[in-house]
């Protein structure tokens, strides 16, 4: 096992095959690294490759006699059952109240869905009489038994709080529930070379236009499908984004290159109201854009973990790399707080090619270095550093 390559048998719907290669097996690591769609996960210390029958057979052939298999861990599914009348009434009350408070449809849907296991668990009890300790005990039960993610934990807690605070009108401070510590993750980005390869791999005019527009203006996928023809302001050079996240209107930059492409697209497709329409009319679907992007990633061999939202992350990072003021990037992205935008500064490339050390600005130090030597040096000595 110590000197064997471990292949973790993927779940039937898993996107990738995960592989553990011991550090001592440098040749094998090099072979895996050269494979198409290979990727290294530093936090898990695992490699992965796209899950396909062809790749599975390739791994077995490449590492024949060096492989052991490990079964995937089974995750318990949260049981579902039909809710009783009282629980259904709770969901109706929650939906009505959140609708009146102008919550988005996606938030209402996710809260109602998250609350169902809670109502099922306490179906023999009066929800109005549950204590804070009982609610915390339920959340702990979901975490420990069903291994729900941090995101699911927060959605569950928000849904519970929404019912007690908005429907029952309870004091907010009474229902403070212990939340998971938020993990600090860096946004996934594509290099400009990957962006170029990805966009040029898309041949369909409509598909290329929507992906180019999302990247060029830093749009969310929900914002792209809600764009109207009249939201493209070519004279003033901006895109108007109505009712974005948080129900805030904003403007973003309109690239002259994208404008040229948009005009070709308009002549070819003649959209009537929505800028991007489906085959049967109406808004273009998010799933269609995601499918287009996934095909482009596979065709261009870009980072296989990239999503459509990665284009927005890449937009922000590339602007900062070009020296755009952080405040301008914040406005373009529609972030309420600059702290949200500052996360992109952590993924900028750090090297002496784009950042100068303060030491390099002191002429006296430069002269001191150039005249200091304990013995004669040649180019081989100098180039040995960092080779």
| pLDDT tens by residue, 161-196 | 999 999 999 887 555 556 656 555 657 788 889 999
Mean pLDDT score, 282-302: 92
Task: At 66, list the tokens.
Answer: 């060096």
If we measure between CA atoms, which residue out of 166, 168, 152, 151 comes closest to residue 103? 166
143 CA to centre of own chain: 23
Determine the Cα–Cα distance for residues 142 and 244; give it in Å rounded to an integer: 33
Residue identified by tokens 């057979």 is: 57
- Average pLDDT of the chain is 84
Does residue 87 surpass a pLDDT of 90? yes
Q: What is the pLDDT of residues 93-137, one digit of tens each?
A: 999 999 999 888 889 999 999 999 999 999 999 999 998 889 988
Are the beta carbons of 301 and 49 closer than 8 angstroms?
A: no
What pLDDT is stored for residue 78 in this prediction? Answer: 85
**Predicted confidence band at 2 (pLDDT cuts at 50, 70, 90)?**
low
Q: How many CB atoms lie within 10 A of CB 208?
A: 19
Mean pLDDT score, 272-295: 92
233 CA to centre of own chain: 29
Q: What is the pLDDT of residues 345-378, one digit of tens each?
A: 877 654 444 555 565 556 655 565 555 545 554 4
Q: Where are the domains of the chain?
A: 5-70, 85-175, 192-347
| 235-240, Cβ contacts within 8 angstroms, sequence gap of 24 or more | 239/213
Q: What is the pLDDT of residues 149-158, one digit of tens each?
A: 888 888 999 9
Q: How many CB atoms lie within 10 A of CB 312?
A: 22
Between the CA of residue 56 and those of 13, 52, 59, 280, 304, what are the distances in Å?
14, 6, 5, 39, 17
| Percentage of residues of the chain with pLDDT beyond 70 | 84
What's domain 85-175's architecture? Answer: Orthogonal Bundle (1.10)
Among the residue ranges 91-95, 158-162, 337-341, the one predicted with the least confidence is 337-341
Residue identified by tokens 């972030």 is: 335
What pLDDT is stored for residue 70 in this prediction? Answer: 87
Q: What is the pLDDT of residues 13-25, one digit of tens each?
A: 778 899 999 888 8
Handedness of CA 251, 255, 260, 261 (dihedral sign): negative
Determine the Cα–Cα distance for residues 136 and 131; give it in Å rounded to an integer: 9
Residue identified by tokens 């996710």 is: 110
What pLDDT is stored for residue 382 in this prediction? Answer: 39
Does residue 255 surpass a pLDDT of 90? yes
Secondary structure (DSSP) of 206-245: HHHHHHHHHHHHT--HHHHHT-BGGGEETTTTEEEE-S-T
Superfamily of domain 192-347: Intergrase catalytic core (1.10.443.10)
Mean pLDDT score, 254-267: 94
What pLDDT is stored for residue 356 in this prediction? Answer: 54
Mean pLDDT score, 212-234: 95
What pLDDT is stored for residue 345 in this prediction? Answer: 80
83 CA to centre of own chain: 34
Among the residue ranges 17-26, 239-248, 324-333, 343-352, the one predicted with the least confidence is 343-352
The alpha helices in 63-200, defined as continuous H runs, are 85-100, 105-121, 132-146, 150-162, 192-200
Does residue 387 surpass a pLDDT of 50? no
**Predicted confidence band at 241 (pLDDT cuts at 50, 70, 90)?**
very high
Give pTM, 2 decimals. 0.64
Q: Using DSSP, how many helices (H) and how many strands (E) does the chain show?
A: 16, 8
**What residues are labeled active site?**
220, 245, 309, 312, 335, 344
């Amino acid at each position: 096992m110590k000197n064997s390559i471990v292949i973790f048998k993927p779940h039937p719907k898993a996107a990738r095959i995960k592989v553990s290669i011991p550090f001592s097996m440098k040749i094998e690591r090099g072979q895996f690294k050269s494979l198409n769609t290979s990727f290294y996960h530093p936090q898990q210390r695992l490699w992965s490759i796209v899950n396909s029958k062809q790749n599975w057979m390739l791994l077995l052939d490449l590492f024949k006699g060096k492989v052991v298999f490990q079964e995937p861990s089974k995750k318990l599914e949260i049981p579902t059952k039909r809710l009783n009348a009282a629980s259904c009434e709770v969901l109706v009350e929650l939906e009505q109240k959140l609708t009146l408070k102008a919550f988005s449809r996606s938030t209402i849907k996710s809260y109602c869905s998250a609350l169902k296991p809670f109502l099922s668990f306490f179906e023999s009890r009066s929800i109005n009489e549950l204590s804070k300790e009982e609610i915390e005990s339920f959340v702990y039960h979901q975490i420990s038994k069903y291994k729900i993610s941090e995101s699911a934990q927060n959605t569950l807690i928000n849904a519970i709080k929404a019912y007690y605070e908005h429907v029952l009108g309870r004091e907010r401070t009474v229902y403070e529930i212990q939340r998971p510590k938020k993990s600090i993750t860096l946004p996934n980005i594509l290099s400009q070379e990957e962006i170029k390869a990805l966009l040029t791999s898309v041949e369909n005019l409509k598909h290329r236009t929507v992906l180019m527009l999302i990247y060029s203006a830093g749009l969310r996928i929900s914002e792209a499908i809600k764009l109207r023809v009249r939201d493209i302001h070519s004279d003033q050079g901006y895109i108007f984004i109505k009712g974005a996240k948080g129900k805030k209107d904003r403007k973003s930059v309109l690239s002259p290159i994208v404008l040229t492409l948009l005009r070709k697209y308009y002549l070819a497709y003649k959209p009537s109201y929505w800028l991007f329409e489906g085959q049967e009319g109406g808004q273009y679907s998010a799933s269609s854009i995601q499918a287009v992007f996934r095909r482009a990633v596979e065709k261009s061999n870009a980072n296989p973990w990239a999503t459509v939202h990665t284009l927005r992350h890449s937009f922000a990072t590339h602007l900062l790399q070009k020296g755009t003021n952080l405040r301008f990037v914040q406005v373009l992205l529609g972030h309420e707080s600059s702290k949200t935008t500052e996360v992109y500064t952590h993924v900028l490339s750090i090297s002496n090619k784009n950042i100068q050390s303060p030491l390099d600005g002191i002429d006296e130090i430069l002269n001191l270095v150039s005249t200091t030597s304990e013995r004669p040096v040649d180019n081989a000595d100098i180039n040995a550093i960092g080779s």
